[in-house]
């Protein structure tokens, strides 16, 4: 039985899923965490000889644009996670992407229950939607709380490009990948492996300066070598640089929490993003926040989007004063469930990527009726920049960064 099911003692006897409230009761996780604290991390996996980690992706003829459904911090096994998964499937995506975090420890049994749909005596399992052509996933810090073995041995083996019979024909053999579309590159980069740390303690001021507690979410040297080689290969194929959509678990910037700057520095040192605007999607923070174009440090210019609202209780996002860094945020809140009307959380959801020629469109979808909250389009201008156009429906609940809540 998974950790979440062990602590979800307040769920009604006939409940099919554990209550979301269990994830807010951190003290109940402390003993299970301490039991797994002393462990050996799984070896860092790389792509075997003959496999580049570059996957060609496209929509089948006549079924364009190519659609990719994306969620982050989704692996809770709750009704909310099940609903988001069903909403993801509603767009008939060709591919799906998870940006990491299977709760609470990322153990094999939790991945089986929360991602592979394996039912237990108490609860219905939840199945990650692999869809028609393939599915890929990053790891987050929670997978590393138990050393990453569950991610590498249980989840990763189900991921990659799929054959018509839904078996894996080209596996994702490492915790990072490159999806090569006709006009865009999607880089999934692993910030999770070096982020296990000690939950809660790393948020205490000063503790991150102590090496034992320090979590910098850095890219592993083996992945950096792969990334340099990959970009060299791709840039040698064409004189025109494709625009890049970057995926990580951890945030490079934030108006609300600690930002992880080490991966930003590492990307800048590689140089392939210098002078090129890009889009950066990430989770870790359990909220939906769309930022203005930012100079992220070290000369990198990107469009950061926090989409960590896939399955965990969503942080209530409030602004007491305008924030010029924020384009849109979701201020809504609701009781976590009918049994506890006083505990308030935000709303879960996911996004859908649509690749239509050179244009990338991002649809932000709500857990409620799969409602559309926002549409953004990014079109390369031929000079390293991206033309940006947001369209917010009149009934969208999102506020601008100039509106306080």
Looking at residue 123, its pLDDT comes to: 80
Looking at residue 176, its pLDDT comes to: 98
Looking at residue 96, its pLDDT comes to: 98
Residue 227 has pLDDT above 60, yes or no: yes
Distance CA 16, CA 41 (A): 33
What does 54-122 look like in DSSP terms, one character per residue?
Answer: EEE--PPTTSPSEEEEEESS-BS-SHHHHHHHHHHHHT--SEEEE-S-BSSS--HHHHHHHTB----SS
| The pair of three-digit structure tokens given for residue 357, joined into one six-digit string | 């020629």
Decide: helix, strand or coil at residue 334: strand
Looking at residue 401, its pLDDT comes to: 98
Alpha carbons within 13 A on the beta-carbon side of 272: 22
Mean pLDDT score of the chain: 90
Residue 263 has pLDDT above 70, yes or no: yes
Residue 2 has pLDDT above 50, yes or no: no
| The pair of three-digit structure tokens given for residue 261, joined into one six-digit string | 């700057």
According to the per-residue pLDDT averaged within each range, which of 37-41, 241-245, 333-337 is highest? 241-245
- If you average pLDDT over residues 42-46, what whole number do you get? 97
If we measure between CA atoms, which residue out of 345, 310, 261, 253 comes closest to residue 99?
Answer: 310
Looking at residue 215, its pLDDT comes to: 81
Looking at residue 327, its pLDDT comes to: 98
Q: What is the largest CA-CA distance in the chain?
A: 62
Could you identify the residue written with the tokens 């079109």? 379
Q: Which residues contact 55 (CB under 8 A, 6 or more apart)?
A: 134, 136, 160, 161, 170, 172, 177, 178, 179, 180
Residue 10: pLDDT band with limits 50, 70, 90: very low
Looking at residue 352, its pLDDT comes to: 98
Distance CA 111, CA 63 (A): 32
- If you average pLDDT over residues 128-133, what whole number do you get? 93
pLDDT digits (tens, 9 = 90+) for 61-117: 999 899 999 999 999 999 999 999 999 999 999 999 999 999 988 999 999 999 999
If we measure between CA atoms, which residue out of 103, 149, 116 comes closest to residue 6?
Answer: 103
Dump strand ranges (E) for 205-262. Answer: 244-247
Could you identify the residue written with the tokens 């509603």? 90
Residue 297 has pLDDT above 50, yes or no: yes
Helices (H) and strands (E) in the chain, counts: 8, 21
Long-range contacts of 20-23 (CB under 8 A, 24+ apart): 20/76, 20/78, 20/79, 20/80, 20/313, 20/336, 20/337, 20/345, 21/313, 21/336, 21/337, 21/339, 21/340, 21/343, 23/76, 23/78, 23/103, 23/104, 23/312, 23/313
Global pTM value: 0.92
Looking at residue 40, its pLDDT comes to: 83
What does 291-303 look like in DSSP terms, one character per residue?
Answer: EPPEEEETTEEEE
Decide: helix, strand or coil at residue 363: strand
Distance CA 354, CA 245 (A): 12
Report angle CA 57, 139, 78 to the nearest 5 degrees: 100
pLDDT digits (tens, 9 = 90+) for 336-385: 888 888 989 999 999 999 999 999 999 999 999 999 999 999 999 999 99
**Which runs of consecutive H residues, i.e. helices, occur in 145-261?**
149-150, 221-237
Looking at residue 5, its pLDDT comes to: 40
What H or E segment, with its residue span, contains residue 5? helix 3-7
Looking at residue 339, its pLDDT comes to: 81
Looking at residue 6, its pLDDT comes to: 40
Distance CA 264, CA 348 (A): 27
- Top pLDDT among 24 and 300 is at 300
Residue 11: pLDDT band with limits 50, 70, 90: very low
pLDDT digits (tens, 9 = 90+) for 181-217: 999 999 999 999 999 765 555 555 555 555 555 689 9
Question: What is the crossing angle of helices 221-237 and 262-270, to 10°?
Answer: 40
Q: Which percentage of the chain shows pLDDT scores above 90?
A: 77
CA–chain centroid gap for 27, Å, is: 25
- Top pLDDT among 200 and 240 is at 240
pLDDT digits (tens, 9 = 90+) for 155-166: 999 999 999 999
Residue 3 has pLDDT above 50, yes or no: no
């Amino acid at each position: 039985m998974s950790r979440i099911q062990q602590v979800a003692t307040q769920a009604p006897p006939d409940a099919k899923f554990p209550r979301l409230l269990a994830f807010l009761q951190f003290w109940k996780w402390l003993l299970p965490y301490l039991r797994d604290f002393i462990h050996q991390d799984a070896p860092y996996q790389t792509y075997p000889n003959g496999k580049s980690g570059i996957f060609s992706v496209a929509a089948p003829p006549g079924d364009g644009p190519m659609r990719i459904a994306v969620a982050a911090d989704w692996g809770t096994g709750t009704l909310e996670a099940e609903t988001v998964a069903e909403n993801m499937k509603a767009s008939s995506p060709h591919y799906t992407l998870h940006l990491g975090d299977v709760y609470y420890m990322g153990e094999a049994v939790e991945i089986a229950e929360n991602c592979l749909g394996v039912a237990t005596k108490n609860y219905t399992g939840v199945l990650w939607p692999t869809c028609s052509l393939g599915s890929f996933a990053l790891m987050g810090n929670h997978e590393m709380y138990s050393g990453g073995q569950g991610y590498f041995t249980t989840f990763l083996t189900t991921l990659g490009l799929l054959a018509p019979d839904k078996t894996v024909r080209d596996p994702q053999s490492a915790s990072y990948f490159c999806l090569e579309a006709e006009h865009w590159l999607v880089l999934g980069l692993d910030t999770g492996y070096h982020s296990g740390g000690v939950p809660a303690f790393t948020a205490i001021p000063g503790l991150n300066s102590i090496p034992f507690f320090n979590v910098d979410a850095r890219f592993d040297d083996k992945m950096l070598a792969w990334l340099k080689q990959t970009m060299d290969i791709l840039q040698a194929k064409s004189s025109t640089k494709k625009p890049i959509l970057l995926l990580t678990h951890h945030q490079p910037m934030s108006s609300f929490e600690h930002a992880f700057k080490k991966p930003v520095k590492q990307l800048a040192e590689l140089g392939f993003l210098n002078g090129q605007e890009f889009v950066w999607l990430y989770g870790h923070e359990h909220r939906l926040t769309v930022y203005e174009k930012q100079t992220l440090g070290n000369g990198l210019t990107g469009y950061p989007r926090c989409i960590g609202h896939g399955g965990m209780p969503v942080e209530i996002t409030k602004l007491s004063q305008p924030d010029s860094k924020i384009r849109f945020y979701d201020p809504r809140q609701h009781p976590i469930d009918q049994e506890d009307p006083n505990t308030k959380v935000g709303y879960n959801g996911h996004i859908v990527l649509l690749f239509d020629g050179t244009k990338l469109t991002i649809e932000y979808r709500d857990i409620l009726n799969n409602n559309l909250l926002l549409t953004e389009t990014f079109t390369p201008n031929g000079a390293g920049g991206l033309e940006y156009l947001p369209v917010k429906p009149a009934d969208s609940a999102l506020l601008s960064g100039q509106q306080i809540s």
